[in-house]
């Protein structure tokens, strides 16, 4: 007769003895409490659970904040997160750096643009955010402004009459303002959240929003430095490019320039030449930042000199440019295209060094100009490639561009070329007589992010390179010449 075995549970053989180092199940630490008595460990466990919950929430909110790449986006995110922390529904953020160097921005949460304007009609000294910005209240330790809570605007006898009127019109009854400041950068601005009924944040809420606000201020200070550096780079690039395009009989010109977030070395030029001729050039210098801008300025100035001396021979112009680049900046390469134009006869002779082919856009055709394959300048010991001659028909526009236009699409190069061709072919007939309208249509079709101001182009003539931090990383140049 077999010995009866103990049943197995979840795959564990209960007959196997426990190892010597395994202790027997411990008895409960405390006996059950009599009915009606509270567990003394309960409040501590609740506090620990609350701390864990708060830390998790702060982690999630700060993770969302650091994913923002522009001041506008960061301010909106800070307002949204702060509203969740203090239990408000509406608010506004005012960025106004104390050093006076700007930029000054105001964004709202749950407030329309007109409502923000209405709040701004209240005298600054009568508002909590205004007192923070103007330093009218005592400072906390570390010389930083302190938060300001107004739990009942309607019951505040000292409230400015205009403030009372605006609060009644917009329907808010309390406010809580938080300074945006760091010890290194000083005051950056202020946040204010508005309550529909008399209220103020609890101590726990104040603590959480204070921690979040300090992190947000550091993040905004970094974005502010990036924004200012970008403006400085844009200013330098603007000074290095033509301030205006020349007027030459027989041809209309338009240019568009989009600066990448780090500032690249893409450039264009148009210069009158002897006997009514016109020189057109586009190019790109390797690298980015101030050094690339400086190299671009030197290269463009040199090309202008070579074009005046021997512009009728574009190959000679680029050969001289290649020699200069190889001798003065051996670690840098560049692409370039130079076109010698005779507008009265609509004759163009051009040569390119590692550059994208021009695109001819007209009523009866949209096609790329066949150019010879050649290496960029500075890549070979000696550069030379044959030139190409073309004769655009009356009313046709020749588009010269840098490869940043293709790279910003995010597509493979062959597909990007096809998209550019389709965009140019789709220019409305009403716009074909204006080279600026042709360029704008191409940019709108290929780079829709340019419409929101982040790509550095806003559809106006000339150049504009503001706040492109979260746009594509490449510079873009587009030079359009329409022949009559």
The DSSP secondary structure of 58-103, one letter per residue, reads: HHHHHHHHHT--SHHHHHHHHHHHHHHHHT-SEEEEEE--TTS---
More confident position, 35 or 181? 181
CATH 3.30.450.40 domain locations along the chain: 67-232
Mean pLDDT of 193-215: 94
Q: Are 211 and 59 in contact (CB under 8 A)?
A: no
Mean pLDDT of 244-268: 87
Query: Is 224 in a helix, a strand, or coil?
Result: helix
Q: Are 169 and 115 in contact (CB under 8 A)?
A: no
Helix (H) or strand (E) holding 462: strand 462-463
Q: Are 178 and 191 in contact (CB under 8 A)?
A: yes
Phi and psi dihedrals of 383, rounded to 5?
-105, 140
Q: What is the pLDDT of residue 41?
A: 54
CATH fold label, 243-483: Phosphatase 2c; domain 1 (3.60.40)
Reference 287, options 343, 238, 247, 325; nearest CA is: 325
CATH fold label, 67-232: Beta-Lactamase (3.30.450)
- In the numeric block, which tokens belong to residue 161? 């009459």
Reference 306, options 373, 351, 257, 256; nearest CA is: 351
Q: What is the pLDDT of residue 38?
A: 47
CA distance 347 to 421: 23
Tens of pLDDT, residue by residue over 396-446, are 999 999 999 998 888 999 999 999 999 999 999 999 999 999 999 999 999
Which pLDDT band holds residue 17 (cuts at 50, 70, 90)? Answer: very low
- In the numeric block, which tokens belong to residue 47? 């506090």
Q: Are 432 and 442 in contact (CB under 8 A)?
A: no
CATH 3.60.40.10 domain locations along the chain: 243-483
């Amino acid at each position: 007769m077999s010995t009866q075995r103990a049943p197995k549970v979840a795959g564990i053989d209960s007959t196997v003895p426990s190892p010597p180092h395994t202790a027997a199940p411990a008895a409960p630490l405390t006996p059950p409490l009599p009915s009606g008595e509270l567990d003394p460990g309960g409040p501590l466990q609740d506090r620990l659970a609350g701390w864990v919950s708060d830390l998790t929430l702060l982690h999630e909110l700060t993770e969302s904040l650091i994913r923002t790449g522009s001041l506008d986006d960061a301010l909106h995110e800070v307002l949204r997160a702060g509203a969740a922390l203090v239990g408000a529904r509406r608010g506004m953020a005012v960025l106004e750096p104390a050093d006076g160097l700007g930029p000054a921005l105001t964004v709202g949460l749950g407030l329309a643009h007109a409502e923000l304007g209405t709040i701004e009609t209240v005298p600054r000294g009568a508002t909590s955010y205004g007192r923070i910005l103007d330093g009218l209240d005592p400072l906390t330790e570390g010389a930083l402004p302190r938060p300001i809570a107004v739990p009942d605007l309607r019951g505040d006898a000292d409230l400015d009459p205009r403030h009372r009127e605006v609060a009644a019109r917009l329907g808010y009854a309390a406010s809580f303002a938080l300074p945006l400041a760091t010890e290194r950068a000083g005051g950056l601005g202020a946040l204010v959240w508005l309550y529909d009924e008399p209220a103020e944040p609890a101590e726990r809420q104040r603590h959480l929003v204070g921690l979040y606000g300090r992190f947000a201020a550091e993040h905004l200070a970094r974005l502010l430095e990036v924004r200012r550096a970008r403006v400085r780079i844009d200013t330098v690039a603007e000074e290095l490019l033509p301030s205006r395009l020349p007027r030459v009989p027989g041809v209309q010109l338009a240019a568009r320039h989009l600066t990448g977030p780090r500032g690249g070395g893409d450039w264009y030029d148009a210069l009158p030449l002897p006997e009514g001729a016109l020189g057109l050039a586009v190019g790109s210098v390797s690298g980015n930042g101030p050094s690339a801008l400086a190299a671009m300025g030197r290269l463009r100035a040199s090309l202008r000199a070579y074009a005046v001396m021997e512009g009728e021979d574009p190959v000679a112009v680029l050969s001289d440019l290649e020699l200069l680049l190889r001798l003065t900046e051996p670690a840098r390469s560049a692409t370039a295209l130079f076109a010698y134009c005779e507008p009265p006869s609509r004759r163009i002779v051009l040569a390119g060094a590692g550059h994208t082919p021009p695109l001819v856009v007209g009523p009866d055709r949209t096609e790329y100009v066949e150019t010879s394959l050649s290496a960029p300048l500075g890549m070979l010991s000696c550069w030379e490639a044959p030139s190409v001659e073309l004769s655009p028909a009356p009313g046709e526009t020749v588009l010269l561009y840098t490869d940043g236009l293709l790279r910003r699409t995010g597509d493979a190069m062959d597909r990007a070329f096809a998209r550019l061709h389709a965009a140019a072919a789709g220019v409305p007939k009403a716009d074909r007589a204006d080279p600026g309208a042709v360029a704008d249509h191409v940019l709108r079709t290929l780079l829709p992010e340019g419409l929101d101001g982040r790509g550095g182009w806003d559809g106006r003539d000339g150049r504009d390179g503001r706040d492109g931090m979260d746009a594509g990383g490449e510079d873009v140049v587009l030079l359009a010449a329409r022949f009559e």
